[in-house]
Amino acid sequence: MSQDLRNPATDERFEVAVAVETVALEIREALAWLGAIGIRGVQWPAMRSGVRPRDLDASGRRDLQATLRRQQLVMAGVDLWIPPEHFVDPTRVDRAVAAVEESLRFAAEFGRVPVSLRLPSASDADSESLASTVAALVAIADRLGVSLADHAEPSTPREGVAVGIDPVAVLAGGKDPCEAVFAAAGALAAARLADLDRGGLRSPLGESVGERRLDPVRYRVALEVAGFRGLVVIDPRQWRDPRGGVLQTARLWMEAGRPAGLP
């Protein structure tokens, strides 16, 4: 599918990002496709073998930067979906912290974009060690000028840790994504874009009128009022047709941002 989302009169690109891992088997193929259809940004998969921060040496990073420029793409953020329990497992925590540090350094090099992850909820058993681990990660992030965006749902407020919103996770918990956005105002560093169908699966915006649960206009207004200034990330995980879903979701998001009455 090659339909272009850009305005033919201005050649403007659509200000949204896409989680790049889920739209193609090969990352280069995905970048080329996203660039061709006019998507503005990419969300980088820091746990994918071959393109993890530790897999990309100086030459590999220069090549990636050149590819992004060639496709007129920007780095919107980095996904690091380490299982939350690894941060409280004594046998895994050092490796988890090292992976976060690698991702933070990578994010700093590509525009100081946020690193999205999920931290565990505090508990009496692990609160002291977890607090120490989080403090260490915050110190690294602060030194590099990068935000840690915690996508845990429900969120656990932590000093120095920003919030990431995934409307699907919020809806699955029986809550309103717009209210979650307002609750995170001032601390919101990352926002996903996907819907939840009545069967409990992730879906594109507008997949079925009868199953639509996320109101893109309300969600977009909530993000703007809450002061979110990043690129929302279309997240095609679990979608039957990721590319078609990206196109559909991007169009509906673009329409949600148009003043009433404009074509």
What does 121-135 look like in DSSP terms, one character per residue? PP-TTTHHHHHHHHH
CB–CB of 41/13 below 8 Å? no
Q: What is the pLDDT of residue 12?
A: 60
Q: What is the pLDDT of residue 261?
A: 40
pTM metric for this prediction = 0.91
Q: How far apart are CA 84 and CA 152, in angstroms?
A: 9
Q: What is the pLDDT of residue 213?
A: 87
Contacts of residue 192, Cβ cutoff 8 Å, sequence gap at least 6: 151, 164, 165, 166, 167, 168, 232, 233, 234, 235
CB–CB of 169/184 below 8 Å? no
Confirm or reject CATH 3.40.50.300 for domain 14-256, answering yes or no. no
How confident is the prediction along the chain (263 residues), in pLDDT tens digits per residue?
Answer: 344 555 443 456 678 999 998 887 799 999 999 999 999 999 999 999 999 999 999 999 999 999 999 999 999 999 999 999 999 999 999 999 999 999 999 999 999 999 999 999 876 556 888 999 999 999 999 999 999 999 999 888 899 999 999 999 999 999 999 999 999 999 999 999 999 988 888 999 986 655 678 999 999 999 999 999 999 999 998 898 999 999 999 999 998 887 554 44
